[in-house]
Structure formats: structure tokens, C-alpha cells
Amino acid sequence: MYQLESGRKRKTAIHKVYVCLFIVSGLINSILFFINEEAFQGIASLSFLAFILFFVGKQKVWAVFIIKYTVWLNLLILLAIIAVLLFK
């Protein structure tokens, strides 16, 4: 099926937002690992980030799924942390 130009732009914009949020969450996780003196986990996190971004650039469906899953999981964890801090 043919997509309209506006639909294609919208999908591309949503994809870019997911990738940006994935990069931010991956970098934050890596920095926190390095701060806690867990260098191996920090390096593993950065390697996973680079690996997934490489395959997202090639438009692999499984890589896009992992990015969406990771972004939503981090969002749910953030909401849980906020809820715990508010009701503490």
C-alpha cells in the first residue's frame, strides 16, 4: 500500500524520537554504571547501545522493537520511582 507523505513523515519523526530517547537512556545508564565503579557493566551497556544503533540504521525490525521496548521499560521504571518518592 502507498503511504501518504504526511504519514511517512509522522512515522519517521516517531522513529527518531524513540532513537533519541534510547540514546539518552543508554548514556545515562552507562554513566551511572561508571559512577558506581562498575566499569564492565558500563562498557557492556555502551557496546549494546552501539550494537543496536548499528542495526537500527539498517532498519532491522527486531532492533526497532528492542528500542521501543527499552524506552517504554525505562519510562515505566521512571514512573514507579516517582510514585514511590511521592508516596513515601
Query: What pLDDT does residue 82 have?
Result: 92
The CA–CA distances, whole Å, from 60 to 36, 65, 72 equal: 33, 9, 19
- Hey, where are the domains in the chain? 5-86
Query: What pLDDT does residue 9 have?
Result: 84
What are the grid coordinates assigned to 48, written together? 549494546
Query: What pLDDT does residue 8 have?
Result: 80
Query: Average pLDDT of each block of 10 consecutive residues along the chain (88 residues)?
Result: 74 88 88 86 88 89 91 92 91
Query: What pLDDT does residue 2 have?
Result: 62
Query: What pLDDT does residue 37 have?
Result: 85
Q: What is the spatial distance between Cα 27 and Cα 3, in angstroms, rounded to a whole number?
A: 34
Question: Does residue 23 contact residue 49 with C-beta atoms inside 8 Å?
Answer: yes
What pTM was estimated for this model as a whole? 0.78
